[in-house]
Structure 1
Amino acid sequence: MIPERALWVRMPRFIGDALMIHQALAPLRAAGRPLVAWGPAPVVDLFEGSGTYAATVADAGRAGTWAMAGLLGRHRAAGVINLPRSTRGLLAGFLARTPLRVGWSEAGGRLLATQALPFKGRGDHQADRYRDLLGRAFPDLPAADSAPFRPREEAFVQAAALQRELGLEGPFVVLGLGSAAGVKRLGTPLWIDLITWLRAQRIAHVLLGGTFFEDLAQAEALRAAFPGIPDLCGKVPLPVSAALVSRAAVVVGNDSALAHLTAACHTPLVAVFGPTRPELTAPRGPQVTLLRNESLACLGCLLLQCPVPGHPCMEALDPALLRRAVAASLSLAGAP
Structure 2
Amino acid sequence: MSLLADSPPPPPPKRLVVLMPTWFGDVLMGTPTLHALREHLPGLHLAAAVRADLVPLLDGNGDLDEVIALEAGGKGPHVIEAGHRLHAGGFDTAVLLPNSLRSAMLARLAGIPRRIGYERDGRGLLLTDRLIPRREKRKFVPVPTVEYYLQLARYLGAAGADTRMRVTATDADRRAAAGLGLPPGRTLVLNPGAAKPEKRWDPMRFAAAADALAERHGLAAAVTGAPGEAAEAAAVVAAMRSDATDLVAAGTGLAAGKAVMADAALLLTGDTGPRHLAAACGTPVVTLFGPTAPGWTTIGFDREAQVVARSGEMSGITVDEVVDAASGLLEPAREREPAAVGV
Is the aligned partner of 1:157 residue 2:175? yes
* Offset of residue 43 of structure 1: 1.4
Superposed CA offset, 1:66-117 (max 9, x none): 4333323322113111111223333333344423211121234322222222
**1:285 counterpart residue number:** 301
Letter in 1 for 2:145: Q
Taking the TM superposition and a 5 Å limit, the aligned residue runs for 1:118-129 are: 118-119=132-133, 121-129=140-148
Q: Distance in 2 between matches of 1:140 and 1:317?
A: 41
Task: Label 1:332 to 1:132 Cα distance change in 2 as closer, same or farther (>3 A).
Answer: farther
Q: Which residue of 1 aligns with 2:16?
A: 7
From the superposition, tell whether residues 321 and 217 of structure 1 become closer, same or farther in structure 2 (CA, over 3 Å). closer
Structure 1 CA distance, aligned partners of 2:150 and 2:95? Answer: 12
Instruction: State the shift of 1:41 in Å.
Output: 0.7
Which AA in structure 2 matches 1:44? V
Q: CA deviation at 1:286?
A: 1.4
Q: In 2, distance between residues paired with 1:210 and 1:174? A: 14
Q: Distance in 1 between matches of 2:303 and 2:185?
A: 20
* Greater RCO, 1 or 2 (C-alpha within 8 Å, sep 6+): 2
Contact kept, 8 Å, 1:180 with 1:212, in 2: the verdict is no
Q: Which amino acid aligns with 2:129?
A: Q
Task: Tell me how far apart the structure 2 counterparts of residues 176 and 147 of structure 1 sit (CA, whole Å).
Answer: 20
- Alpha carbons 1:149, 1:266 under 8 Å: kept: no
Q: How does 1:84-233 map to 2 (within 5 A)?
A: 84-119=98-133, 121-136=140-155, 138-141=156-159, 143-146=161-164, 148-162=166-180, 165-166=181-182, 168-201=183-216, 202-213=218-229, 215-226=230-241, 228-233=243-248
Checking the alignment, whether the CA contact within 8 Å between 2:32 and 2:150 is kept in structure 1 is no
Q: How many pairs align?
A: 311
What is the letter of the counterpart of residue 130 of structure 1?
Y
Question: CA 1:10–1:269 in 2, change beyond 3 Å: closer, same or farther?
Answer: same
Q: 2:38 aligns with which of 23, 29, 44?
A: 29
Q: Which moved more, 1:80-89 or 1:239-248?
A: 80-89
User: Hey, what's the Cα distance between the residues in 2 that align with 1:93 and 1:38?
Assistant: 11
Name the amino acid aligned to 1:99: P
Q: Contact 1:250/1:333 (CA < 8 Å) preserved in 2?
A: no
Does 2:317 match 1:317?
yes
Tell me, in whole angstroms, the C-alpha distance in 1 between the residues paired with 2:300 and 2:238.
31
Deviation, structure 1 residue 332: 4.6
1:306 is aligned to: none
- Compare 108-117 and 59-68 and name the one that shifted more: 59-68
Q: How big is the shift at 1:161?
A: 2.8
Distance 2:111 2:38 in 1: 24
For 2:82, the equivalent position in structure 1 comes to 68
Query: Aligned AA for 1:222?
Result: V
Contact 1:172 1:204 in 2 (8 A): yes
| TM-fit CA distance, 1:282 | 4.1
In structure 2, what is the equivalent of residue 275 of structure 1? 291
Q: Shift in Å at residue 236 of structure 1?
A: 0.9
Q: Distance in 2 between matches of 1:333 and 1:117?
A: 45
Corresponding residue for residue 304 of structure 1: none
- In the other structure, the counterpart of 1:53 is 64
**Matches of 1:329 and 1:179 in 2, distance apart?**
23
**Which amino acid is 1:324 matched to?**
D
Seen in structure 2, the aligned counterparts of structure 1 residues 68 and 184 have a Cα distance that, compared at 3 Å, is same
Shift of 1:174: 1.0
Worse overlay, 144-153 or 100-109: 144-153
CA–CA separation in structure 1 for the residues paired with 2:127 and 2:186:
48
3-state DSSP of counterpart to 1:196: helix
Q: Aligned equivalents of 1:98 and 1:67: distance in 2?
A: 15
Contact 2:224/2:246, CA 8 A, preserved across alignment: yes
Identity %, equivalent residues: 25
1: CA distance, partners of 2:23 / 2:71: 17
CA distance in 2, matches of 1:100, 1:289: 41
